[in-house]
Structures are given as structure tokens and as C-alpha cells.
């Protein structure tokens, strides 16, 4: 089943990825400022000197693609939704630029990050600039014939999602190093940090297609569950992902003392002695390889990876159940189901 879904997902990304990349490039001012050089480098279009790489954007362009698929599933005009889909990717990348600074990550997609090349102050400004370009792009939605009230509604959804995403990122940083975080607090945090923009992508696509309240409610629920799937899988990869796929070493989130889902589930399914071991390791200034292996062994004993995978599968099933009774063209439903399954089982 996954093989068929994987082929369908590959086709979906092939169909829309280049289009998203091309439209994004057209949103940048023609003047070649240093900020534009940094942003085009980050997006994979140029090298650090500004020379073209002739490549599409880095990453999956998942959020604009979800927006387009949701619009199509709800009976909308896919071409008309693009000006609203592109800002989603711009905002996502704005968050990644700042995320790299906060996490002190020196590499992304196997290339030096903006702050690693140009320093924190310039990277912060570049990220902020990308956020403004997203707003300017969204304003172009009015030029496509979409009613003003819908344009304002969509803009409001995106702004609110951006605010929640930033709040979630703050909570993620706040919780680092803590070992007493509950599963409920974790789920609330990821619903903002990751879920807000994914839910917004789907809601925007549906709103631009229909006024049917049942569809709007169903797809909103679908988006919330799908956002949880994405982050849970991300947390799995943050510890057990292959370095050749993720670009990060095994146990990367433990080394950074992140209080991700695997730590939470381990603490709630292990002995008091093991809880104390994890707490002591997380209280250290630096986590050694021996410390890392000790936590990984405790996780293996507690079947933590299996518990995380089960939770991702549960949320995937909840997402698909949300739209089970909604009238959707068969091919659109298969596309959406394949994306949901892909996000549950992805390796990078």
C-alpha cells in the first residue's frame, strides 16, 4: 500500500514543486541586494556568491502543496489559489532561518545556514524580510478576482497562524532541558509550532473553494491532526533518523536536550531510576556519547520508538476520519490520503 502511495506522492511533488519555486522567484524584487542574495541562497536558487544553481527551492514545499490539494478537493480553482499558497512557503522558510539561529544549526540541506555564513544579525534581518515578502505576495490575491472579504479572511488566517507558530517556537525553546513536560503540554505546543501553518494551508485552500461549513469544519480538523502527524514524525527522525537522509546525527534532539515526544513517552513508561538518569543527563552542560547511548538504551527498553510510531498512526487515522464523510473527487481523496500516509512514514 505504501509503495502505491509513495508513487502518488512523488507525482504530486513533481507536479507542483517546480511551479511553486518559479512563482516564489517572481515575488522577489529585481534589485540584487545583499538581503536577496542571502534569501536566494537559503532557498537553493544560488550559491553564496549569488551565482545561479538552476535548482528549485530546497525542501518539499509541503504547505503550498497541501493548500492546492485542499482547494482542488473542495472543488476550487487551483490556479487562483496559488497567490495564497506561495506565502505559506515563504513564511515557513522565514521560520527556518530564525530556527537555525536559535538552534545554532550550521547546516541545512547539506549547505551552511545563513547565520553561519553572514552572522546572526544579518540572518535575522533576512528572515524578517522574507516574512514581509510573504505579506506582499498574499496581497496579490485580490488581483485574481477573489472577493475582497475572502482575501481579508485568508490574510487574517495566515497572520493568526504565523502568530501561533511563533508562540509555539517560544514554548519549544522554553521546554528545552525540562524532563517533566506532559504529553498534553507537548501536543498543545506542536499544535502551534507546526500545526498552525499546516492547518492554515488547508483552511485557506478550502475557503477559496467553498462556503460549505461542513467541508470547512472537516478540513480544519484534518489539518490539525495532520500537523500533529508531521511533528511527531519529525521528533522520531530527530532521534532515530538516518544521517544520510536527515543531515543530522542519530540522537540529535537528545544532544540538544530537546524535550521532544520520545523523551516524554520514555519518562512516562520507564522506572523512577531511569527517569532520574535522564534528568541528570539533561542537567549537564554537554551530553557525551556515553550519555546519549544510555538514553537510547532506556528508550529501547521502553519501546519508545514504537509508541511514537503508534501515536503518529493514530493521528493519521484521525485526520483521514475527519474527511471520511465529505464529498471529495476520488482522485483528490487518493492524493490527500497518500500525503497523510507519507507524512506518517517519511524518512526525512
DSSP state, 46? B
Domain that includes residue 274, residue range: 2-345
- Phi/psi for 46 (5° steps) reads -135, 170
CB 40 within 8 A of CB 34: no
Residue 48 buriedness (CB in 10 A; 0-12 / 13-18 / 19+):
middle
Q: What is the pLDDT of residue 6?
A: 81
Least confident of 25-29, 85-89, 190-194, 204-208: 25-29
What is the rounded CA–CA span in Å between residue 17 and residue 35? 24
How far, in Å, CA of 45 to CA of 32, rounded? 13
Q: Does the pLDDT at position 1 exceed 80? A: no
**With contact defined as beta carbons under 8 Å apart, do 252 and 168 qualify?**
no
- Tell me, yes or no, if the pTM score tops 0.75: yes
- At residue 277, the pLDDT reads 97
How far is it, in rounded angstroms, from Cα 75 to Cα 83?
Answer: 17
pLDDT at 138 over 90: yes
Q: Are 71 and 81 in contact (CB under 8 A)?
A: yes
- In this predicted structure, which of 127-136, 213-222, 242-251 has the lowest mean pLDDT? 242-251
Q: How far apart are the first and last CA of the chain?
A: 20
3 state SS of 268: coil
Q: What is the pLDDT of residue 56?
A: 67
- Using one digit for the tens of pLDDT, what is the confidence trace for 267-315? 999 999 999 999 999 999 999 999 999 999 999 999 999 999 999 999 9
What CATH number is given to the structural domain containing 286?
A: 1.10.600.10
CA 288, chain centre distance (Å): 29
Tell me which of 55 and 153 has the higher pLDDT.
Answer: 153
Percentage of the chain beyond pLDDT 70 is 98
Average pLDDT over residues 77-94: 95
Strand partners, 107: 112
**pLDDT-derived band of residue 3, with 50, 70 and 90 as boundaries?**
low
Q: CA dist 163 to 60, 137, 194, 337, Å? A: 23, 18, 12, 29
Total domain count, the chain: 1
Res 234 pLDDT > 80: yes
d(CA 148, CA 150): 5
Q: What is the CA radius of gyration of the chain?
A: 20
Amino acid at each position: 500500500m505504501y509503495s502505491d502511495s509513495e508513487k502518488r506522492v512523488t507525482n504530486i511533488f513533481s507536479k507542483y514543486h517546480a511551479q511553486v519555486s518559479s512563482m516564489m522567484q517572481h515575488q522577489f524584487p529585481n534589485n540584487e541586494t545583499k538581503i536577496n542574495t542571502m534569501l536566494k541562497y537559503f532557498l537553493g536558487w544560488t550559491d553564496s556568491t549569488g551565482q545561479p544553481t538552476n535548482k528549485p527551492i530546497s525542501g518539499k514545499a509541503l504547505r503550498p502543496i497541501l493548500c492546492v490539494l485542499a482547494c482542488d478537493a473542495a472543488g476550487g480553482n487551483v490556479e487562483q489559489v496559488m497567490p495564497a499558497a506561495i506565502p505559506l512557503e515563504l513564511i515557513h522558510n522565514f521560520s527556518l532561518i530564525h530556527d537555525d539561529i536559535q538552534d545554532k544549526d550550521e547546516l541545512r540541506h547539506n549547505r551552511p545556514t545563513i547565520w553561519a555564513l553572514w552572522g546572526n544579525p544579518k540572518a535575522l534581518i533576512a528572515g524578517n524580510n522574507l516574512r514581509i515578502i510573504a505579506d506582499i505576495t498574499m496581497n496579490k490575491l485580490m488581483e485574481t478576482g477573489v472577493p475582497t472579504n475572502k482575501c481579508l479572511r485568508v490574510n487574517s488566517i495566515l497572520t493568526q497562524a504565523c502568530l501561533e507558530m511563533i508562540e509555539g517556537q517560544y514554548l519549544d525553546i522554553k521546554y528545552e532541558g525540562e524532563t517533566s513536560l506532559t504529553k498534553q503540554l507537548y501536543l498543545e505546543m506542536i499544535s502551534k509550532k507546526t500545526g498552525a501553518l499546516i492547518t492554515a494551508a488547508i483552511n485557506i485552500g478550502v475557503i477559496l473553494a467553498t462556503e460549505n461549513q461542513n467541508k470547512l469544519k472537516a478540513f480544519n480538523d484534518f489539518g490539525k491532526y495532520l500537523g500533529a502527524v508531521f511533528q511527531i514524525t519529525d521528533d522520531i527522525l530527530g532521534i532515530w533518523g538516518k544521517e544520510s537522509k536527515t543531515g543530522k546525527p542519530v540522537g540529535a534532539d537528545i544532544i540538544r536536550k530537546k524535550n521532544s515526544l520520545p523523551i516524554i513517552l520514555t519518562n512516562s513508561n520507564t522506572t523512577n531510576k531511569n527517569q532520574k538518569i535522564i534528568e541528570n543527563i539533561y542537567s549537564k552542560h554537554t551530553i557525551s556519547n556515553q550519555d546519549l547511548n544510555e538514553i537510547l538504551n532506556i528508550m529501547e527498553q521502553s519501546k519508545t520508538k514504537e509508541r511514537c510510531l503508534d501515536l503518529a498512526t493514530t493521528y493519521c487515522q484521525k485526520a483521514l476520519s475527519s474527511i471520511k464523510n465529505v464529498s471529495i473527487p476520488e482522485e483528490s481523496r487518493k492524493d490527500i490520503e497518500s500525503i497523510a500516509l507519507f507524512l506518517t512514514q517519511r524518512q526525512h
